[in-house]
Amino acid sequence: MHGIRGVVATLLALSVAGLSARQVAETRPATSAVARVVSRSTPHLKFTATISPVVIVPGARLSIVVDVVPNKGMHVYAPGTQYRPVEIRLQADSSLRVHNPVYPKPTVYRFKPLNEDVLVYDAPFRLVVDVIAGDSVALRRQLRGRTQITLRATLDYQACDDRLCYLPASVPFQWTLRVAGE
Amino acid sequence: MRRVLLGVLLLAAVAMQDRAAAEERFRPFKLKTLEGSQRSLPDVLGKATVVIFFFPTCQYCNAAFPEVQKIYDAYKDRGLSMVWINVVPDEEPLIAGWLVTHGFTVPVLLGGRSVQNDYKLVMTPTHYLLDSRGKVLSRHAGYTAGDEKALERDIQQALGQ
């Protein structure tokens, strides 16, 4: 009796495990079809850059979200100061129209040696840029015949800590996206 | 066998000494001035020489340089030579205006990406104090208020004062 119960329990466990594995397997492609993520790490910060959706539909909007985590004690500059602000630079592609990036509210950093207030990011923050692919007849024509587009970008910044400034950095990353047929 | 081993050890020791001596020398350069002429390391060497790597929008450079300028003014007639080397090429157009705004008169040379690699620079300001033959006496990176006092002491020592 114990033997049969054991076999049934094992079969149940296996079927549950199989189901879970299938769910995971089904979830993965669905997730990767929605967004594509790249991560980079430098001596000053870490960031993940996410683009969604990963299939370019002419005229539709793509959203790029870059989550940046400065290392402890490190800050990068926000726009609106005389210093180099952090920014996402997208390599020009004639079929894409890049919107202005959206920056979060920076913090005010008191730089004692110069007795000046500067706008910085010294805690995790998010940059968002929208891109429209082929939003005009001319741009749509340029998309025609292309099955995929590699979108190349860099995260540019200049970091300082409480004693020194690091050289300006430009960290490259890219996504390859499929172009939906018309 | 023992003689061969001794010979190998001796050669290794000589090679290590040579390398150490070479490392103490500041790497030679040939760079452009803002006016477009060329300057090499021997051109800028004084009795003592301070070489500082910077770029105009480096916040700590801006904090340190008024103090460094004062040191230059105080010791340039006593044999101190100084040169600031810009390490971010796309900031070259800012330099002339930046010098005027801050009243800086220290000669500036235009470095480039190769300078970043040649001197293994990752941060600014980074300064070297050299003797009259280009030997590195000290090196320092970053700036904290008061660092200029240590630099001045080192310069006085190098000038034999």
Determine which of A165, A166, A170 to mutate to test the interface with B (most B C-beta atoms within 10 Å). A165
**Which among A95, A117, A94, A93 has a CA at the least distance from the CA of A107?**
A117
pLDDT class for A58, splitting at 50, 70, 90?
confident
pLDDT class for B4, splitting at 50, 70, 90?
low
pLDDT class for A182, splitting at 50, 70, 90?
low
pLDDT of B57 > 70? The answer is yes
Structure tokens at B31: 């760079």
Q: Do B116 and A167 touch (CB under 8 A)?
A: yes
**Which among B58, B62, B68, B41 has a CA at the least distance from the CA of B131?**
B41
Q: What average pLDDT score do residues B8-26 get?
A: 53
Structure tokens at B102: 């801050």
Across chain B, mean pLDDT equals 89
CATH number at residue B37: 3.40.30.10
Do A23 and A77 fall within a single domain? no
Q: What average pLDDT score do residues A26-39 get?
A: 62
pLDDT of A140 > 60? The answer is yes
The 10s digit of each residue's pLDDT in A7-16 is: 444 433 333 3
Q: Residues A71, A95: contact at Cβ < 8 Å?
A: no
**Is there a domain that residue B2 lies in?**
no
The one-character DSSP state at B70 is H
The whole domain housing A16 covers 1-33
The answer, yes or no, to whether the previous bond of A53 is cis (omega within 30 of 0) is yes
Which residue in this structure is represented by tokens 């300078």? B115
Q: State residue B7's pLDDT score.
A: 53
Structural domains in chain B (count): 1
Q: State residue B148's pLDDT score.
A: 94
Do A23 and A58 fall within a single domain? no
Q: Which residues of A touch B57 (CB under 8 A)?
A: 82-84, 158
Q: Do B60 and A164 touch (CB under 8 A)?
A: yes
Structural domains in chain A (count): 2
Q: State residue A179's pLDDT score.
A: 84
The residues facing B30 across adjacent strands are B40
Q: Do B57 and A158 touch (CB under 8 A)?
A: yes
Do A23 and A92 fall within a single domain? no
- Which run of H or of E encompasses B44? helix B41-44
CATH number at residue A172: 2.60.40.1250
Q: Do A165 and B121 touch (CB under 8 A)?
A: no
**Is there a domain that residue B124 lies in?**
yes
Q: Does B123 touch chain A (CB under 8 A)?
A: yes
Q: Residues A49, A127: contact at Cβ < 8 Å?
A: no
The 10s digit of each residue's pLDDT in A36-56 is: 899 999 999 999 999 999 888
Across chain A, mean pLDDT equals 81
The 10s digit of each residue's pLDDT in B82-132 is: 999 999 999 999 999 999 999 999 999 999 778 999 999 999 999 999 999
Structure tokens at B72: 């230059």
**Highest mean predicted confidence (pLDDT) among A57-61, A126-130, A144-148:** A126-130
pLDDT of B1 > 90? The answer is no
- Using only the alpha carbons of chain B, give its radius of gyration: 18
pLDDT of A77 > 70? The answer is yes
**Is there a domain that residue B8 lies in?**
no
Q: Which residues of A touch B116 (CB under 8 A)?
A: 167
**Is there a domain that residue B14 lies in?**
no
Coil, strand or helix: which one is A49? strand
Do A44 and A86 fall within a single domain? yes
pLDDT of A29 > 50? The answer is no
Angle ∠(B119,A161,B89) on CA atoms, nearest 5: 40
Q: Do A163 and B143 touch (CB under 8 A)?
A: yes
Q: Which residues of B touch A120 (CB under 8 A)?
A: none
**Alpha-carbon gap, residue A149 to A176, rounded angstroms:** 6
Do A112 and A128 fall within a single domain? yes
Q: Residues A63, A52: contact at Cβ < 8 Å?
A: yes
The residues facing B49 across adjacent strands are B81, B130
Which residue in this structure is represented by tokens 């006496």? B137
Do A18 and A60 fall within a single domain? no
**Alpha-carbon gap, residue A3 to B48, rounded angstroms:** 91
Q: State residue A30's pLDDT score.
A: 36
pLDDT class for B11, splitting at 50, 70, 90?
very low
**Greater model confidence, B5 or B72:** B72
Q: Which residues of B touch A160 (CB under 8 A)?
A: 59-60
Q: State residue A33's pLDDT score.
A: 61
Do A159 and A131 fall within a single domain? yes
**Alpha-carbon gap, residue A102 to A79, rounded angstroms:** 11
Do A164 and A138 fall within a single domain? yes
**Is there a domain that residue B21 lies in?**
no
Q: Which residues of B touch A79 (CB under 8 A)?
A: none
Determine which of A77, A109, A167, A170 to mutate to test the interface with B (most B C-beta atoms within 10 Å). A167
The 10s digit of each residue's pLDDT in A82-127 is: 899 999 999 877 778 889 999 999 999 999 888 999 999 999 999 9
Q: What average pLDDT score do residues A152-161 get?
A: 95
pLDDT of B27 > 60? The answer is yes
Q: How far is CA A27 from the centre of its chain?
A: 20
The whole domain housing B89 covers 26-158
